[in-house]
Structure 1
């Protein structure tokens, strides 16, 4: 039986934030035990009183877990829980990691080398240009660019990163509710070469109180946060403060002192954020060698584990498949097999769940 579905139940219980869910997990040990616990047992957990335990019992009776799993499958949505080894390492180590993250696209071990770029929705032309160029340059250096898919700086950062590498968009709504709606096409592009994620159940509307929760995920997924433009009171400054609380680096782009969009970033620099004039100002602050060593070790362990049950021919082809989509002809050029032989081997790897075939006769490693 799929016990992961009980995690879906937990995040659909009303009035339970990530900290209370953590208290429940610390007491019961796993999501299934929480789901099946009696009211008397629930009341033994810190912050779970009589009223809250009654709500939990009532909600459990009304939630169809199998239907929720079915809907995710229908929409092509994957999810990771705090119990899963693949759950992002940096996010897992913040104060209040989301119990479940939903995603479309692919999350990889290399997303450990990541930086978030955030800023004003009502950005200037200068801010948009800087965010786009900076994201492209950092993506070219191997960074995954994290942002919030909002209008303005976020959108420019995603677009810049897509030119050279990977980007991950974090929604403040359910993963099936794209906000803002004009970024629907951008979301599709990101899913093809990166990932779009959400910590909210399907169908969650983009309410204002969702965005601080989303912001902690943006900063939590990243080694550091770069603020390009921000007014004096801004969600981007919330993200920067969350990054500091999480022990991550904070960087800021200096701005025109006559513009409202520069007040927040210039204040950040005054209070200790690293001023950025080029990507070298960022690279010098990050111990990337240690992180790359961790990634290489993880990748090698996964590679050996995945290849255990492969034939020699399958292993040779699998070694050539990357986590980003590759065209059939490009794979063919790297192996000593005919087109028909390669087709047969790719089909076997797909059946084993190790690779995925995409539109345009392209292939990538499965998540």
Structure 2
């Protein structure tokens, strides 16, 4: 447990991004060993060299690891490292994922069933309405909605998700620096029904250069990214590009061609992004089975732990499903819950490897 604190030191070393930290970890094998290494040893790591190794030695002397740990405790902030099993599966599988994730709230295995919704800060009333409605409906269907807590589309996406389920916000600052400041209450609400996340150490201000890094995490956490509105140079287009490079789906809401907020989304559609007219346009394109199968191979131990930790509602639904396929409405008639609750619960049971969804919205127990 004590070795985890060395990760906090690594991300505070000057001019060491995820790629160089990855090189160090591959060479030394452990964050503590990096922290204790001599300059001679550090020089042997690819792309580190004499100058960087000298800087690492100098920086180490000025970083109090126990102080960093205590400061996080004082702010009630948790953190995950790449070595932790709880580190988000989808994010861990992008190129050079962030070595440390700071968070408030809780991060769950079921958050793999997730979509990001992003868009313009200066959005139209139409964009706000669509984003909020979309987030609410998807959250009701069991998706965790991920966005960036920014003004405009991000804000209403979080608000819509909170009305029906879980949401996660990724910041471009330290978790103790609330930006924009008017979203302080929203941030607090999100920690109750999801998590607020950052890859940046405490006290990091929201500099412009931080937001592309934040956008990379937003897309990396999710199965796909939905762009609601975007101007020609919108940061949302950066998020969409990251999603494509990460092998994730990209969706776009078509917009009024006379509005500048529609240029980015309409252009994405021209280039091959999936056009959204209804929720099924999203669901049908997501490779849920492929991801679940992959997790079943590489994350089987974690899944076994989750299998025996069903909520009361999950147990109730699970006990109504048989080895003979059943249609959604057939299951719904047997249980006194809403269609939204059943949708969400069925998705969670599928994530945990207990059931499989078949064609025609039918479900069956796994062997």
CA distance in 1, matches of 2:178, 2:308: 36
Q: CA deviation at 1:289?
A: 3.8
- What SS does structure 1 have at the residue aligned with 2:186? helix
CA distance in 2, matches of 1:85, 1:142: 23
Q: CA deviation at 1:228?
A: 0.2
CA distance in 1, matches of 2:67, 2:223: 37
Are residue 217 (structure 1) and residue 217 (structure 2) matched?
yes
CA distance in 2, matches of 1:208, 1:303: 39
Report 1:1-367 matches (<5 A).
Answer: 2-291=2-291, 294=295, 300-303=303-306, 320=312
- What SS does structure 2 have at the residue aligned with 1:53? helix
Mapped contact 1:80–1:100 kept (Cα < 8 A): yes
- What SS does structure 2 have at the residue aligned with 1:4? helix
Cα 1:68–1:321 change in 2 (3 A) is farther
CA distance in 2, matches of 1:228, 1:145: 14
TM-score of the superposition, structure 2-length normalised? 0.82
Q: Output the aligned Cα RMSD.
A: 1.8
Structure 1: segments with no counterpart, 5+ residues:
307-317, 323-367
CA distance in 2, matches of 1:66, 1:130: 46
Query: Deviation string for 1:201-222 (max 9, x for gaps)?
Result: 0000000000000000000001
- What SS does structure 2 have at the residue aligned with 1:158? helix
Cα 1:203–1:229 change in 2 (3 A) is same
CA distance in 2, matches of 1:303, 1:250: 30
Mapped contact 1:39–1:53 kept (Cα < 8 A): yes
Cα 1:99–1:109 change in 2 (3 A) is same
Moved more, 7-16 or 284-293: 284-293
Cα 1:305–1:42 change in 2 (3 A) is farther
Q: Which runs of 4+ in 1 moved over 2 A?
A: 287-300, 303-306, 318-322
CA distance in 1, matches of 2:311, 2:280: 33
Mapped contact 1:113–1:291 kept (Cα < 8 A): no
Mapped contact 1:109–1:298 kept (Cα < 8 A): no
Q: CA deviation at 1:303?
A: 4.2
CA distance in 2, matches of 1:179, 1:148: 10
CA distance in 2, matches of 1:135, 1:321: 23
CA distance in 1, matches of 2:132, 2:115: 14
TM-score of the superposition, structure 1-length normalised? 0.82
Query: Deviation string for 1:106-147 (max 9, x for gaps)?
Result: 000000000000000000000000000000010011000000
1:333 — aligned with what? Answer: none
2:337 — aligned with what? Answer: none
Cα 1:261–1:298 change in 2 (3 A) is farther
Mapped contact 1:113–1:292 kept (Cα < 8 A): no
Cα 1:284–1:149 change in 2 (3 A) is same
- What SS does structure 1 have at the residue aligned with 2:3? coil
The number of aligned residues is: 311
CA distance in 2, matches of 1:300, 1:62: 41
Cα 1:168–1:299 change in 2 (3 A) is same
CA distance in 2, matches of 1:41, 1:213: 30
CA distance in 2, matches of 1:180, 1:302: 38
Structure 2: segments with no counterpart, 5+ residues:
315-367
Query: Deviation string for 1:224-264 (max 9, x for gaps)?
Result: 00000000111000000000000000000000000000000
